[in-house]
A and B are shown apart, each in its own frame.
Chain A
Amino acid sequence: MAAVKFEKVHFSYKTDDEQAENVFAEDAAFSLNGIDFSVEEGEFVAVLGHNGSGKSTLARLTNGLLSPTEGEITVFGLDAKNPKNLFEIRKQVGIVFQNPDNQTVASIVEDDVAFGPENVGIPRQEIGERIDFALRAVGMTDFRSATPSRLSGGQKQRIALAGVLALKPKMMILDEATAMLDPRGRKEVIDAVLRLNREEKITVLLITHFPEEAMLADRAIVMSNGSIVMEGKPADVFAKEDELKKYALTMPRHICVCRGLREGGVEIADTMETQKIAETLLPALQGDFSTDLQENLGRVNSENTIKPETSTGAGCVHCENLSFVYNSNSPFETHALDGVNLTINAGDFFGIIGHTGSGKSTFVQHLNALLKVPTAEKKYKEKKLKKGQIVPPKTVLSVNGFDLTDKTTDFKTLRRKVGMVFQYPEYQLFAETVFEDVAFGLKNFYSDITDAEKQKAVREALETVGLNYENVKDRSPFELSGGQKRRVAIAGVIVTKPEILVLDEPAAGLDPLGKEEIMDLLHKIHRDWCKTVIIVSHDMDEIAENCNRAAVFSMGKILLTGTPKELFGRVDALMDLGLDVPFTAKIVDFLGQNGVHIDCDYTWWDFVEKVLKYYKTKGAGMRLTPSSEGGQNHA
Chain B
Amino acid sequence: MRDIAFGQYYPAESFVHKLDPRTKILFLIVYIVAVFLGDNFYALGGCAGVFFLIMLFSRIPLQRLLRSLKAVLFLLLFMSVLNLFFFEGGKPLYDLPKPWRFLIITDKALYHATFLAARLLLLVLGSSLLTLTTTPVSLADGIESLLKPLKLIRFPVHELALIISIALRFIPILTEETGRIMNAQKARGADFESGNFFKRIKSLLPILIPLLISAFRRADELGDAMDARCYSGSKVRTKYKKLTYGWRDLLAAFVGVGLLIGVIFLKIYTGALV
The reply to whether A87 and B230 form a contact with Cβ atoms under 8 Å apart is yes
Q: Inside 8 A of B226's CB, which chain A residues have their CB?
A: 105, 115
The reply to whether A493 and B209 form a contact with Cβ atoms under 8 Å apart is no
A-B contact pairs, 10 of them (CB 8 A): A65-B227, A111-B240, A116-B229, A149-B169, A326-B2, A415-B186, A422-B187, A428-B181, A428-B206, A444-B189
Q: Is B214 an interface residue (CB 8 A)?
A: yes
Cα distance A149–B206 in the bound complex, in angstroms: 25
Q: Is B145 an interface residue (CB 8 A)?
A: no
The reply to whether B240 and A425 form a contact with Cβ atoms under 8 Å apart is no
The reply to whether B209 and A430 form a contact with Cβ atoms under 8 Å apart is yes
The reply to whether A478 and B240 form a contact with Cβ atoms under 8 Å apart is no
Q: Is A365 an interface residue (CB 8 A)?
A: yes
Q: Is A427 an interface residue (CB 8 A)?
A: yes
Known A-B contacts A101-B218, A106-B169; A124 and B187 likewise in contact (beta carbons under 8 Å): no
Q: Inside 8 A of B172's CB, which chain A residues have their CB?
A: 149
Cα distance A330–B184 in the bound complex, in angstroms: 27
Pick from B162, B205, B236, B240 the residue with the most CB of A within 10 Å.
B240
Q: Is B136 an interface residue (CB 8 A)?
A: yes
Which parts of B207-237 form the interface with A (CB within 8 Å)? 207, 209-210, 213-214, 217-218, 221-222, 224-232, 236-237
Q: Is A496 an interface residue (CB 8 A)?
A: yes
Q: Is A440 an interface residue (CB 8 A)?
A: yes
The reply to whether B3 and A334 form a contact with Cβ atoms under 8 Å apart is yes
Q: Inside 8 A of A99's CB, which chain B residues have their CB?
A: 218, 221
Cα distance A415–B184 in the bound complex, in angstroms: 11
Which parts of A109-145 form the interface with B (CB within 8 Å)? 110-111, 114-124, 127-128, 131
Q: Inside 8 A of A368's CB, which chain B residues have their CB?
A: 187
Which parts of B164-218 form the interface with A (CB within 8 Å)? 165-166, 168-169, 172-173, 180-181, 183-191, 205-207, 209-210, 213-214, 217-218
Known A-B contacts A107-B168, A111-B137, A428-B184; A332 and B237 likewise in contact (beta carbons under 8 Å): no
The reply to whether B237 and A425 form a contact with Cβ atoms under 8 Å apart is no
Q: Is A164 an interface residue (CB 8 A)?
A: yes
Q: Which of B166, B189, B221 contacts A97 (CB 8 A)?
A: B221
Residues of A within 8 A of B (CB): 60, 63, 65, 87, 90-91, 94-95, 97, 99, 101-108, 110-111, 114-124, 127-128, 131, 148-150, 160, 163-164, 167, 326-327, 330-332, 334, 365, 368, 370, 412, 415-416, 419-420, 422-423, 425, 427-431, 440-441, 444-445, 478, 492-493, 496
A76 to chain B, nearest CB (A): 15
The reply to whether B224 and A65 form a contact with Cβ atoms under 8 Å apart is yes
B168 to chain A, nearest CB (A): 5
Q: Inside 8 A of B187's CB, which chain A residues have their CB?
A: 368, 370, 415, 419-420, 422, 493
Q: Is B154 an interface residue (CB 8 A)?
A: no
The reply to whether A107 and B2 form a contact with Cβ atoms under 8 Å apart is no
Q: Is B238 an interface residue (CB 8 A)?
A: yes
Cα distance A105–B237 in the bound complex, in angstroms: 15
B231 to chain A, nearest CB (A): 5
The reply to whether A102 and B225 form a contact with Cβ atoms under 8 Å apart is yes
Q: Is B5 an interface residue (CB 8 A)?
A: yes
Q: Which partner residue on chain B sits nearest A113 by CB separation?
A: B240
Known A-B contacts A104-B169, A429-B210, A478-B213; A124 and B229 likewise in contact (beta carbons under 8 Å): no
The reply to whether B188 and A441 form a contact with Cβ atoms under 8 Å apart is yes
The reply to whether B237 and A119 form a contact with Cβ atoms under 8 Å apart is yes
Q: Inside 8 A of B191's CB, which chain A residues have their CB?
A: 444
Known A-B contacts A116-B229, A326-B3; A370 and B224 likewise in contact (beta carbons under 8 Å): no
Chain B window 237-273, contacts with chain A (Cβ cutoff 8 Å), 1 for yes, 0 for no? 1111110000000000000000000000000000000
Known A-B contacts A420-B184, A430-B209, A444-B190; A114 and B241 likewise in contact (beta carbons under 8 Å): yes
The reply to whether B3 and A167 form a contact with Cβ atoms under 8 Å apart is no
A326 to chain B, nearest CB (A): 6
The reply to whether B162 and A105 form a contact with Cβ atoms under 8 Å apart is yes
The reply to whether A415 and B225 form a contact with Cβ atoms under 8 Å apart is no
B49 to chain A, nearest CB (A): 31
The reply to whether B188 and A440 form a contact with Cβ atoms under 8 Å apart is yes
Q: Inside 8 A of B227's CB, which chain A residues have their CB?
A: 65, 90
The reply to whether B189 and A108 form a contact with Cβ atoms under 8 Å apart is no
A66 to chain B, nearest CB (A): 10
The reply to whether A427 and B239 form a contact with Cβ atoms under 8 Å apart is no
Given contacts A120-B236, A123-B238, A370-B187, 8 further A-B pairs with CB under 8 A are: A102-B222, A104-B169, A111-B137, A334-B3, A422-B183, A423-B180, A441-B189, A478-B213
Cα distance A87–B8 in the bound complex, in angstroms: 40
The reply to whether A149 and B173 form a contact with Cβ atoms under 8 Å apart is yes
Which parts of B121-180 form the interface with A (CB within 8 Å)? 135-137, 162, 165-166, 168-169, 172-173, 180
Q: Inside 8 A of A365's CB, which chain B residues have their CB?
A: 183
Cα distance A431–B190 in the bound complex, in angstroms: 14
The reply to whether B240 and A427 form a contact with Cβ atoms under 8 Å apart is no
Q: Inside 8 A of A87's CB, which chain B residues have their CB?
A: 230, 232
A263 to chain B, nearest CB (A): 45
The reply to whether A167 and B230 form a contact with Cβ atoms under 8 Å apart is yes
Q: Which partner residue on chain B sits nearest A327 by CB separation?
A: B3
Q: Inside 8 A of A124's CB, which chain B residues have their CB?
A: 238-240, 242
A454 to chain B, nearest CB (A): 14
The reply to whether A370 and B241 form a contact with Cβ atoms under 8 Å apart is no
The reply to whether B229 and A115 form a contact with Cβ atoms under 8 Å apart is yes
Q: Inside 8 A of A416's CB, which chain B residues have their CB?
A: 189
Q: Which partner residue on chain A sits nearest B11 by CB separation?
A: A331
Q: Which partner residue on chain B sits nearest A430 by CB separation?
A: B209
Q: Which partner residue on chain B sits nearest A498 by CB separation?
A: B187
The reply to whether A119 and B231 form a contact with Cβ atoms under 8 Å apart is yes
Which parts of B1-28 form the interface with A (CB within 8 Å)? 1-3, 5
The reply to whether A106 and B165 form a contact with Cβ atoms under 8 Å apart is yes
Q: Inside 8 A of A429's CB, which chain B residues have their CB?
A: 210
Pick from B1, B168, B213 the residue with the most CB of A within 10 Å.
B213
The reply to whether A107 and B3 form a contact with Cβ atoms under 8 Å apart is no
